[in-house]
Structure formats: structure tokens, C-alpha cells
Amino acid sequence: MAKRLFLEDEHKKLKAKFFEFADWWMPLEYVGTVKEHLTVRNAVGIFDISHMGRIIVNGKNSKNLLQYITSNDINKLYPGKAQYSLVLTPQGTIMDDIIVYMISEEEFLLIVNAINTEKIFNWLLENNKKFNVYIEDITLQTNLLAIQGPKAEETMQKYTNYPLSNIPYYHFKKDKIVNKNVLISRTGYTGEDGFEIVVSIDDVKEIFNIFTQEEKITPCGLGARDTLRLEMGYPLYGHELDENTTPWEANLGWVVKLEKGEFIGKDALIDKRNKKTKVLNGFELMENGIPRAGYEVYNQKEKIGYVTSGNYSPILKRGIGLLYTNSVYEEVRIKGRDKLLKAKVVKPPFIKNTSIKKGEKKNVS
């Protein structure tokens, strides 16, 4: 049975349409995916993303454990800094993509994909034997809200005394919103400026209702979250990323720090660095149609790959997507509903000049 959000009743009051995603019963949309998408691009929207896993790692060897099980360099972190990283299998393939928050020199918070929460929690426990740190899954004790869009900062600032302009991209601050203890992180998965807020289940309803009722922030579902991330070319676990894919193939070599020392998957990554079996890229349809994950990709009559993510872009007003192919192509054909649709291969992001601040537009899944 699907897990339920703590705020499910509040979403029902807002007329959410639900669907099952990653073993959770989640809002798909409220007033319509396209309208919610455009609201985030132009103003501000709020998402309940509490399905994402939240795991605390605490102890004097926490940094050493995380350095061993993640691909990025934990030593680049300092309290208040967040880092995008990968958890890899011993074979060098992607077990999950995560965000690591350094709360103190000994305490870290991991945000992991919902479908992988139990897997990553158990992987941490399995590799903790020689590090002996405290590991706790706090997913059901907390909620995670995302306030995203170019007006996110000015909207949120009314409810906290801490100057949000002091939080750079991929940094966070523990402070208060309407006198409730929260962790405020300048991160997101939309390509716009915004914040993600970790808050206890005791306090989340008041904060959520202030933003949706008093501020009239548009609630947004996973439908809009998906089209927003797709326009930026951000990968999604289970689509572009999985345990059959290496960071080299997924264009995530920038979060692999081979020079940092030993970590799980390193030897395999070195061996596979020049042995890619597929190429990840973006595409735009050159004729009417909406591509979907799983559609086959052809070069004339030869099958050369498959679509990993596809949808309609509300900004470009055409079908876009991500695909894996066996080589590099400039133009391909997408097979959907027994029709071959012409598409040009492009390098994401599909849209530029969004409101992300501090000049960094890396994936923030």
C-alpha cells in the first residue's frame, strides 16, 4: 500500500489530484500542470516533496563514512554547505543521486530519492561497521517543502527574521519561520531560484497553510515538478539514472572525484571511464507530438536508443525529452504510436536565463 503524506488532508482541501509515485500517494496537480509550471517560472509555487528520504548521519567518523560511500569530495563541505553527489555500486553504477548537507563537523543530513530511501539507509548501515556512527531515517518525523520561483525569496522573507539573501545557492541555514524551527536550503529541482524547507511534522501544517492561504502561493504537483526539471535537463532516478548506468554515461562525471581517495565504485569507474555503452542527450521534436519515456529512437530505420524522459514543454511549446543513444547524432526519429517523429538532438538545458542565483545551474535532484 502506498505511503501517505502527513499533509494529505490539506492537499485534498486544495483540490489536488493524486497518483502513486515511488510508493507514495502524491499530488499530481491542483489547477493544471501547465499553469503550475508557468507560475513557478514567472512567480512562485509550493511543492510538498516529503516523499523524498531524509537520513541523519552523526558521529566523529561521519565524514569518513560519507567520503567512502559517495562520489563527490565531502572534504569540500563546511557547516551550512550542501553538495550534490552520487552513491555508487561496487560496479561503478548509480545506486542513487543525493544531496549531502553538512550540519556540523560530525552531523550530516542526506536527502535521497523516495524510491531509494530504504536501499540507501540499509547501504549506510552495511558500510557503517568500521565507522560506527549514528544513522537514523527521519523521513516520517519531518516534512520537506519546496518554495520555488523568482519571487520565492521576497515571499518567504516576510515570515523569517533571517535575511534569506545571505543564503547562497547550495547553502542552508537553521533558523525559524513563523517561530518554528526549520532548515532552509537554497536548493531545488526546477531551474528557478527557491528554497527547500525541512520542518517537523508538528509544525509543517501551520507553515504550509500560511504560504497557501495567506500568501496564496500556488500549490504545485509532481506533474509540474517533472516538466520543470525536464526543461533544465535534470536527470531523474529510474529514468536517466539507475544501476545499469555509470556517471560517465549520465554526464555526471563532474561529481566524481577520483583524486579524493578510496570510495565504493572507484576502481570500476576508472576501468569504465572510456567504455561508455550509451550517450545521454536532449532532443526537441520538430513536429507535433508528445514524447514519452520508453519510446524507441531510430536513425532512419535502425534502432539506436530509447527515450528516458519526455513531455510537452510549456515554455518552448513543443515536445522535448532526454534519450540514450549508442553514439552521437544530430537528428533522430522518435517512434511513438506507430509514427516516427523527427527530432533534433540538443544539449540541455532547453531553456536559459532562469532565476537560479549565484551563477551555478548544476543539477539539484
Q: State the binding site.
A: 196
Nearest to 87 by CA among 45, 55, 61: 55
Strand partners, 233: none
CA 317 to chain centre: 23
Backbone angles phi, psi at 141, to 5 degrees: -95, -10
CB-side exposure of 257: number of CA atoms within 13 Å? 18
* Cell (9 digits) for 53: 528520504
Count of beta carbons in the 10 Å neighbourhood of residue 168? 14
Q: List alpha helices for the chain, DSSP H.
A: 8-13, 33-42, 62-69, 117-126, 152-157, 204-209, 222-232, 266-272
Positions at the binding site for substrate: 196
Contact 258, 324 (CB under 8 A): no
Helix/strand/coil for 42:
helix
